[in-house]
Chains A and B, each alone.
Chain A
Amino acid sequence: MTYLFETDDHTALRAQARRFAERHITPFALEWEEAGEFPRALYRLAAEAGVLGVGYPEAYGGSGGDISHALVVAEEMVLVGKSVGTVVGLGSHGIALPPILAAGTEDQKQRYAGPILRGELVSALAVTEAGGGSDVASLATRAERNNDSYLVDGSKMFITSGTRAEIITTAVRTGGPGHGGISMLVIDRRESEVAVSRKLKKMGWWASDTAELSFAETRVPIVNLLGNEGEGFLIAMRNFATERIFLAGNCVAIAELAYREALAYARERNAFGKKLTAFQVTRHKLADMATRIAAARALTSEVVVRHVREEPVTSLAAMAKNTATDMCSFVCDQAVQIFGGYGYMRESVVERLYRDARLYPIGGGTREIMNEVISKLEGF
Chain B
Amino acid sequence: MKILVPLKQVADPDNANKIKVTAGKIDTTGLAFKPNPFDEYAVETALRLTENAANTKARLGEVVVVAFGTKDVDVMLRGALATGADRAIRVDATDDALDGDLVARALKAIVEKEAPDLVLLGKQQVEGDSNQVGQLLAEYLGWPQATFAGSIKSEADKALVVSREVDGGTLNLKVTLPAVVSVDLRIVNPHGVKSMHTAAAHAYPEGVRFAALMAIMAAKKKPFAEMKITDLVSDASLKVTYGSAELPPARKAGIKVKTVAELVEKLKTEAKVL
| A interface list, Cβ under 8 A from B | 8-9, 11-13, 15-16, 19-20, 23, 48-51, 53-54, 58, 63-65, 69
Contact = CB atoms under 8 A, between A and B. Distances in A.
B242 interface: no
A225 to B, nearest CB: 32
Interface in B210-228: 210-217, 219-220
A9 B219 CA distance: 10
Given A23-B207, A48-B205, A63 B213 contact: yes
B78 interface: yes
B79 interface: yes
B175 to A, nearest CB: 31
Contacts of A9: 213, 216-217
A16 B205 CA distance: 15
B203 interface: no
B75 interface: yes
11 contacts: A12-B75, A12-B78, A12-B211, A13-B216, A16-B216, A23-B207, A50-B215, A54-B213, A58-B214, A63-B212, A65-B214
B82 interface: yes
Given A64-B212, A65-B213, 4 more contacts: A8-B75, A11-B75, A19-B210, A54-B213
Interface of B: 75, 78-79, 82, 205, 207-208, 210-217, 219-220
Contacts of B212: 50, 53, 63-64
Nearest to A45: B205
A64 B75 contact: no
B211 A50 contact: yes
Contacts, number: 46
A64 B205 contact: no
A20 B209 CA distance: 10
B210 A12 contact: no
A69 B216 CA distance: 12
A290 B168 CA distance: 53
- Chain B, interface SS category: helix
A20 B205 CA distance: 12
B217 A64 contact: yes
A53 B213 CA distance: 9
A369 B217 CA distance: 39
Contacts of B220: 8
B214 A63 contact: yes
Contact of B79 (A15, A48, A53): A15
Contacts of B219: 12
A164 B78 CA distance: 39
B205 A12 contact: no
B210 A16 contact: yes
Given A63-B212, A69-B213, A12 B82 contact: yes
Contacts of B205: 48
Given A8-B78, A48-B205, A13 B213 contact: yes
Given A11-B75, A12-B75, A15-B79, A64 B210 contact: no
Contact of A48 (B78, B210, B214): B210
Contacts of A53: 212
Contacts of A16: 210-211, 216
Nearest to B35: A15
B90 to A, nearest CB: 15
Contacts of B216: 9, 12-13, 16
A54 B219 CA distance: 17
Most A-side CB within 10 Å, residue of B208, B211, B215, B220: B211
Contacts of A63: 212-214
Nearest to A54: B213
B217 A50 contact: no
Contacts of A11: 75
Contacts of B79: 12, 15
